[in-house]
């Protein structure tokens, strides 16, 4: 019942409340990006959603305007494509705030497995058959455990290979853990743990 009906009600109530509370911060960050680095303010990135339906993930832009398209999708902490303001936004996960709009639109949930790009989903398609039975989320067990993912990736020469062979398999384990434990109490616990880890 919670997965079918309650989770969407949870998302609307908490998502709308969250949007009202962070609206002034969204405006301040938008103006900061415009002043420091011009437009666009937002970055839309195609991800795989529920039942493998694609959608555009909304983030504050944290990279230079014309990054090399041949570079890997994964970024390390010292990636030269990240703008100066982008480093500050990423440090405190502020670039993720606009995803509350994805939640209100119905593309995402507040809590759920983090949305992944198609090329990585295809590498683990059997696992994602189960994971993508629900909407992806802004935060979950994996988002908390890998809060410093970019810093971890700097330890490897090939960050994309490290992500696919070391980090993503562990994330998938945590996504599957969430699928087994999904409930309102689990979602509340993850939201509070996420806020605590950021603060």
Residue pLDDT, tens place only, 3-14: 989 999 999 999
**Band of pLDDT at residue 72, cut at 50, 70 and 90:** low
Q: Is the pTM of this model over 0.75?
A: yes
Residue 76 pLDDT > 70, yes or no?
no
Spatial separation of the C-alpha atoms in residues 63 and 46, rounded to whole Å: 16
Kindly report, residue by residue over 95-149, the tens digit of the pLDDT: 999 999 999 999 999 999 999 999 999 999 999 999 999 999 999 999 999 999 9
What angle do the packed helices 84-91 and 7-37 form, to 10 degrees? 150
Pure H helices in 146-183: 149-153, 159-162, 168-181
- Tens of pLDDT, residue by residue over 88-103, are 999 888 999 999 999 9
Spatial separation of the C-alpha atoms in residues 94 and 78, rounded to whole Å: 18
Residue at token pair 């993503």? 168
Predicted pLDDT at 180: 96
Ordered by start, the domain boundaries in the chain are: 2-198
Alpha-helical segments (H) within 57-183: 84-91, 99-105, 118-123, 125-131, 141-145, 149-153, 159-162, 168-181
Of 20 and 74, more confident: 20
Are 191 and 111 in contact, with CB atoms under 8 Å apart? yes
- Is residue 31 within a helix (H) or strand (E), and if so which, with residue range? helix 7-37
Roughly what angle, to the nearest 10 degrees, separates helices 184-198 and 168-181?
Answer: 140
Peptide bond into 57 cis (omega under 30): no
- Residue range 12-27: mean pLDDT, rounded: 96
Could you report the per-residue pLDDT of 24-48, keeping only the tens digit for each?
999 999 999 999 999 999 999 999 9
- DSSP, collapsed to helix, strand or coil, labels residue 57 as strand
Residue that has been written with the tokens 């995803």 in this structure: 99
Nearest alpha carbon to residue 187 among 150, 147, 148, 137: 137
**22 is written with which tokens?**
């962070």
Q: Which two tokens stand for residue 142?
A: 């994996």
């Amino acid at each position: 019942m919670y997965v079918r009906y309650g989770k969407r009600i949870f998302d609307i109530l908490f998502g709308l409340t969250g949007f009202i509370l962070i609206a002034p911060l969204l405006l301040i960050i938008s103006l900061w990006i415009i002043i420091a680095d011009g437009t666009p303010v937002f970055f839309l990135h195609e991800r795989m959603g529920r039942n493998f339906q694609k959608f555009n993930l909304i983030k504050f832009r944290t990279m230079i305007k014309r990054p090399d398209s041949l570079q890997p999708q994964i970024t390390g902490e010292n990636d030269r494509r990240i703008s100066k303001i982008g480093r500050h936004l990423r440090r405190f996960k502020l670039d993720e705030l606009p995803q509350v709009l994805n939640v209100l639109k119905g593309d995402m949930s507040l809590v759920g497995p983090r949305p992944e790009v198609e090329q990585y989903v295809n590498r683990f398609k059997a696992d994602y058959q189960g994971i993508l039975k629900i909407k992806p989320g802004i935060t979950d067990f994996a988002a908390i455990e890998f809060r410093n993912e970019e810093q971890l990736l700097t330890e490897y020469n090939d960050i994309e290979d490290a992500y696919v062979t070391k980090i993503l398999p562990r994330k998938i384990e945590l996504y599957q853990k969430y699928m087994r434990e999904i409930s309102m109490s689990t979602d509340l616990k993850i939201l509070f743990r996420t806020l605590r880890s950021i603060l």
